[in-house]
Structure 1
């Protein structure tokens, strides 16, 4: 299964997710918000994400709904986000093969992402962690979201995500003990 982490980087929550993944040797794909990359501490987290072997995805400049935007406006958002990631990494052509539309609202954004060399990445199964940080509920949702070959999406940004981190801390070791492997998202996104 693929684990994707959206809406960051976000300070202590992203650090906690990275610590947990590192402890268990798990790789994920982080779909990054450009304004968060440029926020204080964001560049350091992007460098850590890349250094630790996680995949990078473009999640647009902000949390805005791209569904009704023009292609030109979407392009501006995606180009600015990839540039911010590149600046953080010191690489004018950073490895950002994925794009996920904020809120799963695609509009013209999937086509623009393809033109820019990114593969649109389906949201897959989510755990509803933008609605609650109730650890018990998130643990249950995370267990239910796991499917062979599937994508599970959690969030490290957009607010307090300490419940998400706690749910991951409980479920990731269970999955590994059960023989699950964490892989990059499938090539077709």
Structure 2
């Protein structure tokens, strides 16, 4: 990512027309991430995976993180846990972000692994956007959600995803912490539908002209 960092969370997708940037939060999950990665690989789709330190350190998590990177997906720091950081002071936020970067890079065996994005757990930003920019990460918007933490019916989630997937924007789904099989089914189904309609799946990007 070469655009200047901004504290305004990024909500756009790269490219023009029928494009969408898929972002995936709260994993990796040994239960559901493998099926999602299989499906994305079969379709040649890249995504941003916003990863949680606790999930990386869970059994199988580090191997999944390595697979995510090896298959060309992009990483986003999503904190060490699922804690709401909205009321934290800058020092506490900074310590957590740095610790999660350490967890990610230790799991990858690469002290310089690129983690270009930050996304606040629960969309509770507080001072996190400012600290993320200070640490070299672009905040990534929490927008176009499908509320897949409330329900895992694939038909319902497919309908929500069709509504949430807007041209030129980021869309948000979850592969963790567990029990996201309905999300995976919906994501792959809607990707197939939209590609048949001429959509492309890209990555987040800054946009100066709408």
TM range (shorter): over 0.9
Q: Is the partner of 1:158 in helix, strand or coil?
A: coil
In 2, distance between residues paired with 1:124 and 1:84?
A: 26
Displacement after TM superposition at 1:123 (Å) = 1.2
Kindly indicate which of the two structures has a greater share of residues assigned to helix. Answer: 1
In 1, distance between residues paired with 2:112 and 2:149?
A: 31
Which residue of structure 2 aligns with residue 89 of structure 1?
Answer: 108
The TM-score normalised by the length of structure 1 is 0.97
Unpaired runs of 5+ residues, structure 2, are: 1-19
Which residue of structure 1 aligns with residue 205 of structure 2?
Answer: 186
Which residue of structure 1 aligns with residue 78 of structure 2?
Answer: 59
In 2, distance between residues paired with 1:136 and 1:93?
A: 41
Displacement after TM superposition at 1:179 (Å) = 1.0
Unpaired runs of 5+ residues, structure 1, are: none
Which residue of structure 1 aligns with residue 8 of structure 2?
Answer: none
Q: Which one of 96, 99, 118 corresponds to residue 80 of structure 1?
A: 99
Q: Is the partner of 2:86 in helix, strand or coil?
A: helix
* Equivalences, count: 188
Structure 1 segments of 4+ aligned residues over 6 angstroms from their partners:
none
Displacement after TM superposition at 1:175 (Å) = 1.1
Displacement after TM superposition at 1:88 (Å) = 1.3
Residues 1:46 and 2:48 are matched in the alignment: no
Q: Which one of 180, 188, 194 corresponds to residue 161 of structure 1?
A: 180
Which residue of structure 2 aligns with residue 70 of structure 1?
Answer: 89
Displacement after TM superposition at 1:158 (Å) = 2.4
CA displacement, residues 89-112 of structure 1 (integer Å, 9 cap, x when unaligned): 111121000000000000011111
Superposition RMSD in Å = 0.9
Q: Which one of 28, 31, 35 corresponds to residue 54 of structure 2?
A: 35
Displacement after TM superposition at 1:4 (Å) = 0.1
Residue pair 2:31, 2:179 contacting (<8 A) in 1 also: no
Residue pair 2:174, 2:183 contacting (<8 A) in 1 also: yes
The TM-score normalised by the length of structure 2 is 0.87
Displacement after TM superposition at 1:178 (Å) = 1.0
Query: Greater relative contact order (Cα 8 A, min sep 6): structure 1 or 2?
Result: 2
